[in-house]
């Protein structure tokens, strides 16, 4: 009888620990600050309505082929044509980047400078917690840098609407995820690619296997 009670106590303790982890994650999510609002497209003008960016200056191309802050004649919208070909070269630069996950916490990254030329494949190595994944989270603005800038083709990505940024940059994670639905909806969830283009991509991938 004592053995049975002991086994039941151990099992109950393990279940409580598991449930507490779920509670901890739920609490962590509740304290997350909301991201910049997704910018809806005005169907008549083809422009994004900035919502949380109402008083922000728009971005215009300069002669140096980069983007700089300039007052748009119509400050109530951001002209998406400015980003139609971005990024077209593929230069990624982390400039004096510092990041920490809590205002009073230690720096996960501090004064990082890194330039990745277009077409290069690089490997970033380090122990667990060294900040490798943090660099990727900065590139997608899952985390905002406390100091410094992340530039893609000379554009400070903090000035790019999230809905545009995350459509133009792709990631292949370590652990693939299959969402509920068809293979087609997983390959093209926004239905923005022609059907023929999807098949060509699949054929190219299968031919290399």
Instruction: Say if residue 43 is in the same domain as residue 77.
Output: yes
Would you state the pLDDT for residue 42? 52
* Same domain (yes/no): 133, 189: yes
User: At 3, is the secondary structure helix, strand, or coil?
Assistant: helix
Among 62, 89, 116, residue at a domain's last position: 89
Name every residue whose Cβ is closer than 8 Å to that of residue 139 and which is 6 or more positions away in sequence.
Answer: 92, 150, 152, 157, 169
Residues 97 and 143 in one domain: yes
Neighbours of 173 (CB within 10 A): 7
* pTM, 2 dp: 0.61
The answer to the question of residue 133 being in a domain is yes
Q: Is 204 domain-assigned?
A: no
What residue numbers bound the domain in which 122 lies?
90-152+169-199
53 and 140 both lie in a single domain: no
Q: Answer yes or no: is 132 within a domain.
A: yes
Is residue 58 one of the residues assigned to a domain? yes
Number of folded domains that form the chain: 3
From first to last of its 209 residues, the chain has per-residue pLDDT tens of 678 888 888 888 888 888 888 888 888 888 777 776 555 545 455 554 544 333 333 333 333 333 333 333 333 345 556 677 888 888 999 999 999 988 888 899 999 999 999 989 999 998 888 888 899 999 999 888 999 999 999 889 988 888 888 888 888 888 888 888 888 888 888 888 898 999 998 898 888 77
pLDDT of amino acid 139? 93
């Amino acid at each position: 009888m004592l053995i049975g009670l002991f086994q039941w106590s151990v099992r109950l303790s393990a279940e409580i620990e598991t449930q507490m982890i779920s509670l901890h994650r739920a609490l962590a999510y509740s304290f997350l600050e909301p991201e910049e609002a997704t910018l809806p497209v005005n169907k008549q003008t083809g422009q994004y309505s900035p919502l949380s960016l109402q008083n922000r200056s728009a971005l215009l191309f300069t002669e140096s082929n980069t983007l700089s802050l300039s007052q748009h004649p119509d400050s109530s919208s951001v002209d998406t044509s400015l980003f139609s070909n971005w990024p077209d070269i593929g230069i990624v630069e982390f400039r004096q980047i510092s990041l920490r996950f809590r205002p009073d916490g230690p720096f996960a990254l501090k004064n990082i400078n890194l330039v990745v030329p277009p077409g290069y494949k690089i490997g970033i190595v380090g122990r667990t917690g060294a900040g490798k994944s943090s660099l990727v989270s900065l590139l997608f603005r899952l985390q905002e840098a406390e100091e410094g800038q992340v530039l893609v083709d000379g554009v400070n990505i903090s000035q790019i609407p999230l809905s545009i940024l995350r459509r133009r940059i792709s990631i292949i994670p370590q652990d693939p995820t299959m969402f509920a639905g068809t293979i087609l909806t997983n390959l093209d969830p926004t239905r923005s690619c022609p059907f023929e283009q999807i098949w060509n991509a699949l054929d190219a991938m299968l031919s290399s296997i």
